Amino acid sequence: MSISLFDIKGKNALVTGSTHGLGMAMARGLGLAGANIIVNGNSSQEKIDKAVAQYKSEGINTTGYKFNVTREEEVISAIAQIETEVGQIDILVNNAGIIKRTPLIEMEVSDFKEVIDVDLVSPFIVSKHVVKGMIARKEGKVINICSMMSELGRNGVGAYAAAKGGLKMLTQNMATEWAKHNIQVNGIGPGYFATSQTAPIRVDGHPFNGFIVNRTPAAKWGDPSDLAGAAIFLSSKASDFVNGHVLYVDGGILATIGKPSNES
């Protein structure tokens, strides 16, 4: 086995939602391994420009594109623009996502639908249009960012869990349909990571903070950089016969039922 199995130098990787958080950490990992990073975000051009400058300051070849992953027309024109200006998209990481922490009984239908739209429908929309080029070239890597909530429920995150559970099955089905074109579709399932998304439940004194540390065999929140290895593996030749798999990077959460809080 040779290290070149993991070589992604010069590959073009589009990572949705990569101006901050886990998306940025994975894009950074791919970029430091030699991939050209195509940053996407939707909040403001300024945020994208700032992120692009940050990647570039680390020597990563980066371009940025603002588009809303839930709007098919925007996705179609952004992908056409990327393919003209940057080149073919070799690696697609469907990372953009949102969470709304509201008990189901209190949740507005419009909020539920918004979560499903961003977290489940958008990976379908973006993949559908990126994969056309991959099918023509008979080569490509798609990584869908799943969650602990692809496997487990939790009070107050029902819409998110429904979307992420769906994304796991969408991953399996994309693999079912596209593996024959030499496109590997897999997922990464992050455990609990210290990001802005989890900031509200990580604050000191929040009962969830201690709960997660106790619930995780590795006994800590993950550092976003812990995801780079999984992203590189699933983007490289090393995973050429890995299809429809969700690689959980969770410090062991899914391996155990957990323990009472008085047990060390």
Where does this chain bind ligand GCO (CB under 6 A)?
99, 101, 147-149, 154, 157, 160, 190-192, 197-198, 201
In the complex, the smallest distance separating the C-beta of residue 22 from ligand GCO, rounded to whole angstroms, is 9
DSSP bridge partners of 249: 190
Residue 52 vs 149, nearer CB to ligand GCO:
149
DSSP bridge partners of 66: 41
In the complex, the smallest distance separating the C-beta of residue 193 from ligand GCO, rounded to whole angstroms, is 7
Report how far residue 264's alpha carbon sits from residue 255's, in angstroms, rounded to the nearest whole number.
17
In the complex, the smallest distance separating the C-beta of residue 3 from ligand GCO, rounded to whole angstroms, is 30
Report how far residue 176's alpha carbon sits from residue 96's, in angstroms, rounded to the nearest whole number.
23
Q: In a 3-state reduction of DSSP, which class is residue 52?
A: helix
Residue 50 vs 245, nearer CB to ligand GCO:
245
Out of 55, 160, 192, 248, pick the active-site residue: 160
In the structure encoding, which two tokens stand for residue 59, read together?
């020597």
Residue 222 vs 244, nearer CB to ligand GCO:
222
Those residues whose C-beta lies under 8 Å from the C-beta of residue 31, and which sit 6 or more positions away, are 13, 37, 55, 58, 60, 61, 62
Residue 45 vs 256, nearer CB to ligand GCO:
256
Residue 66 vs 215, nearer CB to ligand GCO:
215
Residue 160 annotated as catalytic: yes
In the complex, the smallest distance separating the C-beta of residue 196 from ligand GCO, rounded to whole angstroms, is 11
Report how far residue 237's alpha carbon sits from residue 33's, in angstroms, rounded to the nearest whole number.
14
Rg value, the chain, Cα: 18
Sort strands 91-94 and 62-66 into parallel, antiparallel or unpaired.
Answer: unpaired
Those residues whose C-beta lies under 8 Å from the C-beta of residue 87, and which sit 6 or more positions away, are 12
Those residues whose C-beta lies under 8 Å from the C-beta of residue 55, and which sit 6 or more positions away, are 27, 28, 31, 37, 39, 62
In the complex, the smallest distance separating the C-beta of residue 162 from ligand GCO, rounded to whole angstroms, is 12
Annotated active-site positions, please? 160
